[in-house]
């Protein structure tokens, strides 16, 4: 498995995996598949080129199988914080340590990012596997946002977590 930071040149593969994630694990993401599928690849390329964000990916034989993004907040009072988002590992990689290794890459980058002190995330409160992963990675629960998402007539609560660097 190859682990590396993604660039705008990875936009097509990233978009393809992201759309797969939004279809297969819709409740894990606040982005809607139909909305995301309407966005052009150029928008994805722009996101991957954003200097306030870094996305890491795990590749096997040239195929992107897992990804996660770190988005730094840009305000004067909030730039010490970053959000971990768009985390997804293809079914075939789950339980293999790929996500842990990918998170280690992201964490290493975060620790070197000047002035960054805290990572934050929101995870579907009904996803115990993801919650256990984040807790093993050092995140602590800090609260819940009830009804954070609404999918048709169903509400999804999100567990808020933080990791101090």
Q: For 112-144, what is each residue's pLDDT tens digit? A: 999 999 999 999 999 999 999 999 999 999 999
pTM score, two decimals? 0.93
Cα 94 to chain center, whole Å? 15
The CA distances from residue 156 to 12, 144, 151, 162, in Å, are 29, 11, 8, 20
Q: What is the mean pLDDT of the chain?
A: 96
Report d(CA 135, CA 131) in Å as an integer: 6
- The tokens describing 60, both together, are 């096997």
Other beta carbons within 10 Å of 120: 17
């Amino acid at each position: 498995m190859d682990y590396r930071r993604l660039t705008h040149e990875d936009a097509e593969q990233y978009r393809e995996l992201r759309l797969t994630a939004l279809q297969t694990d819709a409740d894990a993401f606040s982005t809607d598949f139909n909305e995301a599928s309407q966005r052009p690849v150029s928008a994805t390329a722009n996101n991957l080129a954003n200097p306030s964000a870094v996305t890491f990916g795990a590749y096997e034989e040239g195929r992107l199988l897992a990804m996660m993004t770190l988005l730094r907040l840009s305000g004067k009072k909030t730039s010490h914080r970053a959000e971990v988002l768009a985390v997804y590992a293809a079914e075939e990689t789950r339980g293999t340590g790929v996500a842990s290794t990918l998170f280690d890459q992201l964490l290493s980058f975060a620790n070197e990012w000047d002035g960054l002190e805290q990572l934050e995330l929101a995870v579907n409160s009904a996803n115990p596997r993801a919650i256990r992963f984040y807790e093993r990675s050092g995140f602590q629960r800090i609260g819940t946002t009830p009804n954070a998402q609404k999918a048709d007539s169903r509400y999804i609560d999100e567990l808020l977590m933080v990791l101090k660097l």
